[in-house]
Structure 1
């Protein structure tokens, strides 16, 4: 990266340099929480923003998802829950800075990473590339959203202090990073963005994320193992690399635990933005089909990774940790904001597991801040084996001071101090006290300094506190809630508060008298309610929009369905067919053959063989295909996990014949000579373990076919070239055939009719690879009639009043049968969580005119995110309508009961 790259945008009052962040000249260490307007009811925006501010965080980062605002090509919406301008204005009113992240790609486990689904319908458009067709569409998006951000930049019209371009581009195979980021930068500048433009690296490739584009500041995303002892040296390396360019370390995403955040702070971060501290909800058809499973999964509607605020707004214990860390930052102020990272000059020894290289900050004006993480646990039965070995020993047992189970001892500057398990106190060493009206020096403080004034220092700790002022050392016993500890030294009053009191600290005087805010009243717990009756809509079937006849099954996007579902029906009689091959089906496919519904397919586009020999009568095929969401990441292992991949039934083939083609492969590589030896696939013997060897064979197909590599474990490389005389003996010569990578998750290669030279390259294993190859001759299933039900159509039907008949639960359904139910809800101050209980059903819910989500009960793929088994009905959202669909599986479909829980 060029060291001459400008550190800020032109004329910005936000300055970035190696000393940190300055906002109108004032140094700032910024704590930032993710908070997404598109994952919250509009009526909760202000309360959630105020909640972040009350945590002590001073900033929110906000994605702006392109496909949330362009709901169909050229159809824009910035109203209601899409009124991002109103959200940004509320952030200003609540006193929060904003880091705006308009993409165009955002990831965020959101449908398509926010790239509109229809982009994939243009075969010449390549997403996230410096490519005219894509950039034309990006321009249309930026023309809509960047003026909103420009009007709300700090300080002229709002509190936007940075704008992020793209997102973790270093994960993506972008061919021209410099050209692509330059195009995005130029658009931002053209629209009047003057605050710093940043681009975050997801795996530490600063140039890969920014394209080394002048005016684009690199930022870092870190997601370490919270218990790793090696976090600090990694983070310090990036702080040093950026300091060489006169830039601060901006951590735009990281883990949520404040023990880890303290380690990042001490390692030199000027911006710390743990991702998803304030959780939310994926309403409607907006979750993604993502890459965090084996290899894929579906994101739940509850978007929650354990941040300090839950999806429904409940504050978790980590919220208090945020408040204490924020008090430390406020107390040290500019001295901490202008600090520079270093390594503790004298060794720190511990009897507990800790950092392999603790970080310290050299405070502006003198002194050090030292982070000492205790990576052990808090269990009372903790043993050396459970706690692991620390820097010197690893007892992690109760100390003689009675500090509590799991408390360890660290020796800092030759003095033993107590450190609680699972904590990271920010200790102060040799800090001048003059800014707080005292001429002495704080030689050592073993606990968090949460307040300071003339003649008084206040600490937060759950273990004994060691304080040395000048040469005077005092020990303050571990404070209990409501019982502060006090001591004096060198004319100073020292107060130790339990963390529960520290978060409520309002003021203190020089005598050590503290005033605390009243604790928040606890809401009485409510018991779950079992709903055992509902109104089933009489003969209700959601309308379908006719979508024409097609030779082959079209994608849902080509039918205008970007979120929702579609139905495919064929009149081709498959009587006498033994097997079907389904290629590229995604996301959720309920396939019926001859009227028999088969188990739901959710294979992310992987090829599936389907035995249909049991079909009786006229074997027609019908399929209902639902979009769960488009891929938010680019995962090459399965077709539907590629960024920009489309949804639908894919292609259905009848299997005409199956032939074993495992033999007669010619061997190229290692010491194989010419003419090439013939072996079975994977059967060459060699001492060159792990080195690639290539097997080649000519395959003739009279019609379309599929080559199945059975037994693939590790990825193998396959080329398919036109065959001809002596093709096998020339396979080792260079050719331009495209190279495919075949994975265990989808070990199939499609072949058109003709003669092909197939080359399979795999690492050699002396015992053989257990590979077999079979060739399936295929005929396409044609003549499809389609109908569509997009999310607007389904939502409109769900929210219409309809006659119904009260039915008791449990409700039994046949596989493929659907029931529309209207459910009465009790009033709730905090909203309700609905947990359907049953077997082999999928439940979609609507309330207050909006889809609140989907729950899948029974056999299902992996889910990640929040609780995948509940729907949230926000407070004030009226009415509840459910679409319940039975699915084939080991048990009969049945909705037994609906369990309602308070969302507090």
Structure 2
């Protein structure tokens, strides 16, 4: 293993370790997603894969769960220990302490108390808002000294420090000032290594603020089969070289074919995101990701990287070993090479991929096969008339050689062509008879040809085809057969027997009365979960509804929201703040219960639903009673039109239905206006069937975006007057909406408000299980055909046959339809799973992993709380297990 360097410097197209040009492979390893006793195991596997660096997110919210109390030293949070373990493995560290990290985690790593209506929440996150910066400064004051003490210039592993994360995705109004502040605080704590900032969508200035002393990097997530990606990556390499910097890809896909293409495009650091997978045991996942507003991130944080969450190698691990060996063999020759298009080199038959022009002559060529077909290609070395035919294996991007001088390796001559990968170089030893040894790895049709200088005679040609070894007095070229993929996956999981509590009501009653009841202030708005001090758990609010109300409207509730009206369960929905309503039979009062369970706060900024923007709160939201509904679709003034004849606002505006102005210029904005009211109390404007986002302003004020997923806007009471509403919208030929409604509303009266922290729920259920007599449990056969669970009637199950030894954990696969399953072990929650609808993202929805340390060396009970999602109930179909080794 190469000793850990003591300096890292950056130049135009160069990354130098102790002055040596290098290419680094970097694997993400997140200690907050891996049990602390397994940290070294993961780092060992990274080291053995040939990767030389780890990408380390430091999760602010995990370390400062109580404002002002920062824990960086307890066993699961011991940052210095993790850095020491990395150093002992001779691994470099790219430290990423935020403040924001994204990582599909709760609030993007920002503490829960910065969100919602918490007393500590600032006005604006990820900006120069004074309250936000005060909290960030306190975090940096704690974390930066630990990173500074572990820098490579002080004998530690920290070689790069990233501040912020993909800021170019966020609408930051002052990125330069914001990033300059973070840089100043970082340098003030003694950080000497390069400070980097990654661009999530290629906007280098938006990510770094172009602040002084901030090195921009790029996160690249192409389609692995993109045919234009090579040119895109070379574009960033050229742009950064013009700034006297190398291309560093700080996040990217995990497939090594794609990583090879990035290296061929000039990348000097390549960091596939989540090569080392993890599990959200100790942190909440996020909610709402990747274009689907209903998405819930799984606790299983796994994108099929080369290590599974429980630490098993996947076949991609072999690809890592192969690429690491190739990079080590080429060394600084490859690390100083200039990227060029593949079609500029003498390679025929394929245009996808790239090439590197070596200093002193010759090329490393990398044809990329994207169609999973064996593809015939032809290499044309200098002086060759026929060329060398080769077959490109399906799905590969090998590093082949063309016209490479041997002189830097201590011999005279040329490596004219190699359709096998160089994995080892042993130069001749001066004063001995040793010859140059070039070791290759390739398939049965591999071809390696050297042209060696001869004293006073014809050049000597040395050729090896397929596995074997060719040798002469000057050189040896062993060619090894490519190591075949090894299957690392475990055998199919086995059925796990379960027992279900025969008496379900005691569990239901316990849940109904658990938690903290909060006093209610007459007339005050209902507080959110953050205001109530709830970081993780459930909020239950009970309401009395007026006999005059025709509808109840719930706004801004999140995440898993259950409505029960007059004892009828209407199921769980993942609204993320979008409105949910129920009709009310007139002439009688009603009782409504709203339950909101926190899954995780939004980690991104998304305008489609109110709870999906960064900083949005969680809880039961606003509950409004609708007293009157008026159709106001028609008679809107068309105050400004998109037609070319328009010169501004119309003096005599025509009247049309909202969105009904027909124009030959679709896509251009039309401005509509109408006085609505009088609005004597609060009202809601509802745009039923809205198909496109629109901008709405009240009484000439600032515009508010109203979107199809949340087509409502609360109008303030205007006494006896009307509210002037203007709507700016493009002409939509297919129709903007179905109708416009003005709802007269009043807040519902809350009679009881209760919160239940998730830790208390886990402790109570564990106590219920322990206190239950054995005869209270009913055995469930291994081959049962599904356990029906009624809405509002949760079932507690105890798994049998789940014993573990001290070096094992338990890998579970859960199955069911329309149920939520909470896995408990050791008195605390392991994970939660939504099976069926709604949609989840990330790893498998039903996979849970119980680390061995969570139940001790003799094992312990694993409990499952199963709750129906739909009002009609759900079905739990059982669990399967597989032992997993650390």
> 1:18 deviation in Å?
1.2
Q: Distance in 2 between matches of 1:720 and 1:628?
A: 34
What is the 5 A alignment of 1:816-831?
Answer: 816-824=792-800, 825-827=802-804, 830-831=808-809
Q: Secondary structure at the match of 2:95?
A: strand
Which is worse superposed, 630-639 or 886-895?
886-895
> 1:56 deviation in Å?
0.4
CA offsets, 1:336-382, max 9 Å, x none?
Answer: 22223234584555445x42xx432232444321211111214xxxx
Aligned to 2:384: none
CA offsets, 1:65-123, max 9 Å, x none?
Answer: 10001112223323121112211111111111100000000000010001112113256
Q: Distance in 1 between matches of 2:594 and 2:622?
A: 12
Aligned with residue 803 of structure 1, among 738, 763, 771: 771
CA offsets, 1:183-240, max 9 Å, x none?
Answer: 1111111111111111101111111111111111111111111111111111111111
Aligned to 2:77: 82
Q: Distance in 1 between matches of 2:759 and 2:865?
A: 18
Q: Does 1:408 align with 2:376?
A: yes
Runs of 4+ in 1 over 6 A off after TM superposition: 471-475
Q: CA 1:23–1:346 in 2, change beyond 3 Å: closer, same or farther?
A: closer
Aligned to 1:377: 372
Q: Distance in 1 between matches of 2:577 and 2:734?
A: 32
Q: Secondary structure at the match of 1:620?
A: strand
Q: Distance in 1 between matches of 2:280 and 2:502?
A: 26
Q: Does 1:458 align with 2:439?
A: yes
> 1:814 deviation in Å?
2.8
> 1:532 deviation in Å?
3.1
Aligned to 2:497: 531
Aligned to 2:560: 588
Q: Does 1:498 align with 2:498?
A: no
Q: Distance in 2 between matches of 1:233 and 1:489?
A: 41
What is the 5 A alignment of 1:849-864?
Answer: 849-858=827-836, 860-864=837-841
Q: CA 1:524–1:619 in 2, change beyond 3 Å: closer, same or farther?
A: closer
Which is worse superposed, 411-420 or 366-375?
411-420
What is the 5 A alignment of 1:747-762?
Answer: 747-754=711-718, 755-762=722-729
Aligned with residue 583 of structure 2, among 611, 619, 633: 611
Aligned to 1:242: 240
Q: CA 1:783–1:207 in 2, change beyond 3 Å: closer, same or farther?
A: same
> 1:888 deviation in Å?
5.0
Q: Is the 8 A contact 2:498 2:799 kept in 1?
A: no
Q: Does 1:108 align with 2:103?
A: yes
Q: Distance in 1 between matches of 2:853 and 2:746?
A: 55
Q: Distance in 1 between matches of 2:204 and 2:134?
A: 26
Aligned to 2:825: 847
Q: Distance in 2 between matches of 1:19 and 1:888?
A: 54
Q: Distance in 2 between matches of 1:115 and 1:278?
A: 22
> 1:127 deviation in Å?
0.6
Q: Distance in 2 between matches of 1:146 and 1:607?
A: 43
Aligned to 1:665: 636
- What value does the CA root-mean-square deviation take over the aligned residues? 2.6
Aligned to 1:279: 277
Q: Secondary structure at the match of 2:854?
A: coil
Q: CA 1:489–1:222 in 2, change beyond 3 Å: closer, same or farther?
A: farther
CA offsets, 1:772-807, max 9 Å, x none?
Answer: 211111111023422222233234435557212322
Q: Distance in 1 between matches of 2:853 and 2:291?
A: 35
CA offsets, 1:248-270, max 9 Å, x none?
Answer: 11110011111111110011111
Q: Distance in 2 between matches of 1:251 and 1:264?
A: 8
Q: Secondary structure at the match of 2:692?
A: coil
Aligned to 1:468: 449
Q: Is the 8 A contact 1:324 1:499 kept in 2?
A: no
Which is worse superposed, 699-708 or 819-828?
819-828
Q: Secondary structure at the match of 1:598?
A: strand
Aligned to 2:309: 311
Gaps of 5+ in 1: 1-10, 379-405, 479-483, 504-518, 722-734
Q: Is the 8 A contact 2:626 2:746 kept in 1?
A: yes
What is the 5 A alignment of 1:689-768?
Answer: 689-700=666-677, 701-721=679-699, 735=700, 737-754=701-718, 755-766=722-733, 768=735
Aligned to 1:793: 760
Which is worse superposed, 753-762 or 622-631?
753-762
Q: Is the 8 A contact 1:408 1:421 kept in 2?
A: no
Q: Secondary structure at the match of 2:152?
A: coil
CA offsets, 1:623-672, max 9 Å, x none?
Answer: 22110000011111111110010000000111112111111011121357
> 1:685 deviation in Å?
2.6
Aligned to 1:815: 791
Aligned to 1:511: none
Which is worse superposed, 758-767 or 69-78?
758-767
Q: Distance in 2 between matches of 1:425 and 1:776?
A: 65
Aligned to 1:402: none
TM-score (norm 1): 0.87
TM-score (norm 2): 0.88
Q: Distance in 1 between matches of 2:397 and 2:461?
A: 22
Aligned to 1:8: none
What is the 5 A alignment of 1:113-132?
Answer: 113-120=108-115, 121=118, 122=120, 124-132=122-130
Aligned to 1:728: none
> 1:13 deviation in Å?
2.9
Which is worse superposed, 466-475 or 741-750?
466-475
Aligned to 2:454: none
What is the 5 A alignment of 1:257-276?
Answer: 257-276=255-274
Q: Secondary structure at the match of 1:295?
A: strand
CA offsets, 1:685-715, max 9 Å, x none?
Answer: 3323332211211111232111111232222
